[in-house]
Structure 1
Amino acid sequence: MSGSTTDSVGRVGERSGRGGLARLPSVERVLTAPAAAPLIDTYGRTRVLEAIRQTLTAWRDAAVLTHASSLDEVPDEVPDEAAVASMAKTWLEKESASRLRPVFNLTGTVLHTNLGRALLPEAAVRELVEAMTQAVNLEFNLSTGKRGDRDDVVAELLCELTGAQAATVVNNNAAAVLLMLSGLAARKDVVVSRGELVEIGGSFRIPDIMRSAGARLREVGTTNRTHRSDYEAAIDSRTALLMKVHCSNYAISGFTKAVELPELSALAHSHGLPAVVDLGSGTLADLAQWGLPHEPTVREAIEAGADLVTFSGDKLLGGPQAGLIVGRGDLVAKLKKHPLKRALRAGKLTLAALEAVLRLYRAPEFLPEKLTTLRLLTRPVSAIQTCAERVAPAFRLAAGEVFAVTVEPMQSQIGSGALPVDRLPSYGLVVRRAGGKRGGRALMLLEERLRSWPRPVIGRIADDALRLDLRCLEAADEAAFVRQCVEMT
């Protein structure tokens, strides 16, 4: 049968043998077709040209592959200009989409490293937008008209909130520890308890940082017990400092002994050495006042005699990714002159967001309302349960009849690297195979399907069930979650 027909999507069908491939419209014909005009207006001629080429090549390859083992002539039908433009549009949309996509964090971990850790409060977002869209006095002193110091944006606030003499900022806490050790202990010994040689995450360990900084690790004591005498015996002419690492990402219980910071600081100072502390996910306020587990504050460390304290900006502090160093003025000044400081320094966006977050700490009574991280951590269980009951019907339909969806109590986690052993009572959706069947591959496929949604849903599979903890699903996100469930039903 010969002749041609055009179907509803603009594909032209003909039967004329292998010459069909030659009937594909040329790149130029598609590019000048009316269907390509809006694509050029949106993406530009260069990008549309590449999309058309990629589309035509992919179609040819697929057609040849499909018929490679067949005696039939190929292809029976070829796309016209409009169909190619439509396929090119799909390619352009996919290629132009951001690799960073908003997701629903229903893992139960509030400060989730893989999902970006702390969510910035509105005040920080406003400051970020202003810093991104306008020139700012990042390193310009408006009083003198001369070059300024970018640390001045936040140094005064940090000193006010911690009681430190001086402060500096780098791009994360690992960088802060690296700079501190490079600046104060290169080719010298750093004395640390064996029980504090933690792995920060991603196989990044304190001993590795020391090695990279050119410092020599002198570990003392045992995994579970370290005494003052262990530190004292290790101090000699090669010792640069005594270091204490707060074990925020694990805990040892039972027959244990550690030298507390006041005693360690006194020992260091008696030998003319600095005592430094890596608090990791350091906080500026006592979390216990809001019913959360107590975590040592930076001010407590300074008051206990620490000469320098390093901590993160994007964990319990609730700000942007940053590494903060506060403490003695002379030591901070030395670090600021080190060549690594320029390589590790924070940019204007980090400093703008950090300043806005730090200002919130001046009025701690408003923190549970204005600081997103603290608001999520202190969210009432009753509110989370009510949220779960509201969204359950929509999700039940989206999941399908194969699954049973129930609202059940859960235990949230503050953070995988910040107080991971502490749990917060929560509520969420538990998805199991209907009829009491084993979940197995069906649950894995559902979890994969949820990750493919326009706004991916990230939960966790445990105990033969998919668990969606709703602690982080606040009002605005709840409405969006329900809408998406309805759309994906």
Structure 2
Amino acid sequence: MTERDRLRALPAVDRLAAAVAPNGETTPAAAIAAARAVLDRRRAEILAGATDDPDLVARARAHLRPSLRRVLNGTGVVIHTNLGRAPLADAAAEAVADAARGYVNLELDLDSGRRGARDAHVAALLAELTGAQDALVVNNGAAAVLLAAAALAGRDRSIVVSRGQLVEIGGGFRIPDVVAQAGARLVEVGTTNRTNLADYERAVADGADVVLRVHQSNFRTVGFTADVPIDQLTSLGVPVIDDLGSGVLLHHADEPSARDAIAAGAALVTFSGDKLLGGPQAGLVVGTRAAVAAARAHPLARALRVGRLPMAALAATLALYRDPERARREIPVLAMLDVPDHVLRERAERIALATGGEVVASTGRVGGGALPLLELRGPAVAVGPPALAARLRAHEPTPLLARVADDRTLIDPRTLHDDGDLDAAIAALIAVLGTRS
């Protein structure tokens, strides 16, 4: 078939549109737009020499499908950055839906009728939970560090950082680059594995203005090491910024808490909202009244502020922490980290029974650059060879993400955190494998 024949064989726009949504599943205008886009793309392919025979109806339907979709997490990675990190608690999801349906008093003081501060919706709650005097919220953890550095140091001032804390996190975000973007001069002290108080004291004596401590949230240095605790850093007589990264509000043996950093005298403490906190993407900045005021007044604060939907989710998530036991039950990240062994075993056996899979010992991860040494041991279900993972990822209507290990596709029940997810995952497996419970 010649190039001209292939072009002539393409269906008319209206015929392809009718095939895309034969039962009125979408509006005629949307179907026509999808048909035109697919046909334009196909003409370009043919003119470029393509000789294959793709399914244009499938392409048009895929064109109409939203790119951002709900997926099922069977990987065993609790805070999975590629999957949106922390799933929201029901209370937070409901707060988002409520805020999305109409207007909210995001920057309005209802008592006075005057303009208010959007941080007011969470500042008092964050202060209550961390012991800070004040707080503000920006759009992610990296933004929180940038704003803190810019507000307390900024142009023509210097920030001291241990060489062992000049870290890089996902996406090429490096602490030296953050300091540079804040306009400050970086002063490196110590060595990769050992930094002592005397190293900081010499830098401060030489005129350093701010100390930045960066928690090794996504890796650990072990062996012949030395570091300086936060309470010693705050004795140096200059403001200390403590970047905690993952955002623990309930104490964990391997993670420093914001409350501890505040109690030790840090001027500003920064952490993420969508990691171990279990809320929406946000960067939280808590600290002294003067330091937070400096951050709030900085021009970057407006550029980095969050909208009403993450603010609603964050406020609802933080409110759950007033009752720690309720937080552990209702915040999915915390519930998945603490799920009892017998519950994991029951979930795994349900999956295995429905699919003919094998329950095997496995190890999940916290993910999201948090608790890198913590191994989440528990059962998983081996359901087939590695190639099966791609078929599960393509499942409709809801893709199931699996983990490939030991030349097998594994489904980890830890991250199928409620009965709805578990049932949907089993349905996907049955559909792809052709098995029956």
- TM-score of the superposed pair, with normalisation by structure 2: 0.89
What is aligned with 1:280? Answer: 245
Find 2:77's aligned residue among 101, 106, 109.
Answer: 109
- Bigger Cα displacement from structure 2, 320-329 vs 463-472: 463-472
User: What SS class does the counterpart of residue 306 from structure 1 fall into?
Assistant: coil
Q: Secondary structure at the match of 1:250?
A: coil
AA matched with 2:26: T
Give the Cα–Cα distance (whole angstroms) in 2 for the partners of residues 67 and 415 of structure 1. 44
| Aligned equivalents of 1:236, 1:392: Cα separation in 2 | 64
SS of 1:471's equivalent in the other structure is helix
Choose the corresponding residue for 1:247, options 213, 216, 222. Answer: 216
Partner of 1:460: 403
1:325 aligns to 2:285 (yes or no): yes
Contact 1:411 1:424 in 2 (8 A): yes
2-structure distance, mates of 1:56, 1:252:
54
* Counterpart-to-counterpart distance in 2, 1:484 and 1:36: 24
Assess, with a 3 A threshold, how the Cα gap between structure 1 residues 64 and 482 changes in structure 2: closer, same or farther. Answer: same
Greater Cα offset, 376-385 or 468-477: 468-477
8 Å contact 2:392–2:429 — kept in the other structure? no
How far did residue 162 of structure 1 move?
A: 0.7
Residue 362 of structure 2 contacts residue 380 of structure 2 at CA under 8 Å; is this kept in 1? yes
Aligned to 1:128: 96
The match for 1:193 among 146, 159, 162 is 162
1:429 maps to 2:381: yes
Counterpart contact for 1:369–1:375, Cα < 8 Å: yes
SS in 2 for 1:235: helix
TM superposition shift of 1:353: 0.3
CA distance in 2 between counterparts of 1:143 and 1:286 reads 36
Alignment partner, residue 364 of structure 2: 412
The alpha carbon displacement at 1:384 in A equals 0.9
Change (3 A) 1:389 1:344: same
2:62 maps to 1:94: yes
State the secondary structure of the residue aligned to 1:485.
helix
TM-score, with length taken from structure 1? 0.80
Distance 2:41 2:179 in 1: 52
Is residue 2:431 matched to residue 1:487?
Answer: yes
Q: How does 1:41-60 map to 2 (within 5 A)?
A: 42-45=26-29, 47-48=31-32, 51=35, 54-55=38-39, 58=42
Highest RCO, 1 vs 2 (Cα 8 Å, sep ≥ 6): 2
CA change 1:23–1:206 in 2 (3 A) is: closer
- The alignment partner of 1:226 has SS state of coil
Matched, 1:478 2:422: yes
Aligned letter for 1:45? Answer: A
Q: Distance in 2 between matches of 1:36 and 1:417?
A: 42
Q: Distance in 2 between matches of 1:67 and 1:315?
A: 47
> Match of 1:239, SS?
coil
Aligned length: 426
Displacement of 1:307: 1.1
How far residue 456 of structure 1 moved from its aligned partner, in angstroms, is 2.2
Tell whether 2:255 aligns with 1:307. Answer: no
- Which residue, 376, 389, 395 being the options, matches 1:447? 389
Instruction: Kindly indicate whether residue 330 of structure 2 is the aligned counterpart of residue 362 of structure 1.
Output: no
Distance 1:252 1:21 in 2: 61
Q: Which amino acid aligns with 1:381?
A: D
Asked if 2 retains the 8 angstrom alpha-carbon contact of 1:381 and 1:425, the reply is no
Q: Contact (CA 8 Å) 2:158, 2:187: kept in 1 or not?
A: yes
Counterpart contact for 2:34–2:64, Cα < 8 Å: no
Distance 1:218 1:63 in 2: 58
Q: Distance in 2 between matches of 1:20 and 1:214?
A: 59
Q: Could you tell me how far apart the structure 2 residues matched to 1:325 and 1:21 are? A: 59
Identity, in percent, stands at 45
Q: Secondary structure at the match of 1:99?
A: coil
Aligned partners of 2:34 and 2:61 also within 8 Å: no
Q: Give the residue type in structure 2 aligned to 1:43.
A: T
Aligned partner (choices 330, 335, 342) of residue 375 of structure 1? 335
Q: Which amino acid aligns with 1:126?
A: E
Task: Tell me if structure 2 keeps the 8 A contact 1:117–1:315.
Answer: yes
Q: Following TM superposition, by how much is the alpha carbon of 1:22 offset from its aligned partner in structure 2, in angstroms?
A: 6.2
Answer whether contact 1:121 1:371 (CA < 8 A) is retained. Answer: yes
Partner SS, residue 365 of structure 1:
helix
**Do the aligned partners of 1:21 and 1:60 also contact (CA within 8 Å) in 2?**
no
Counterpart Cα distance in 1 of 2:365 and 2:225: 25
Shift in alpha-carbon separation, 1:43–1:260, aligned structure 2, 3 A: same
Larger of the two Rg values belongs to structure: 1
**Conserved 8 A contact 2:359-2:382:** yes
| One-letter amino acid of the structure 2 residue matched with residue 423 of structure 1 | E
Superposed CA deviations along residues 355-379 of structure 1, whole A, max 9, x for unmatched, are: 0000001111212211111111111
Go from structure 1 to structure 2 and tell me whether the alpha carbon gap of 1:93 and 1:217 turns closer, same or farther (over 3 Å shift): same
Q: Write the distance in 1 (CA, Å) between the matches of 2:34 and 2:399.
A: 29
Deviation at 1:95, TM superposition (A): 0.9
The Cα shift of 1:108 comes to: 1.7
- C-alpha deviation, 1:344, in angstroms: 0.3
CA contact (8 A) 1:52 1:88 kept: no
* Alignment partners' CA distance in 2, 1:332 and 1:258: 27
Check 1:66–1:332 CA distance in 2 against 1; reply closer, same or farther (3 A cut).
closer
Deviation at 1:41, TM superposition (A): 8.1
CA distance in 1 between counterparts of 2:374 and 2:96 reads 32
Distance between the aligned counterparts of 2:145 and 2:109, measured in 1? Answer: 29
Q: Could you say which residue in structure 2 is the equivalent of 1:231?
A: 200
- Equivalence map 1:153-232=2 (5 Å): 153-186=121-154, 187-232=156-201
Aligned twin of 2:296: 336
CA spacing shift, 1:23–1:464, aligned 2, 3 Å: closer
Amino acid at match of 2:419: A
1:27–1:53: 8 Å Cα contact kept in structure 2?
Answer: no
> Does the residue aligned with 1:324 lie in a helix, a strand or coil?
strand
1:42 is displaced (CA, Å) by 2.7
The answer as to whether partners of 1:178 and 1:212 remain within 8 angstroms in 2 is yes
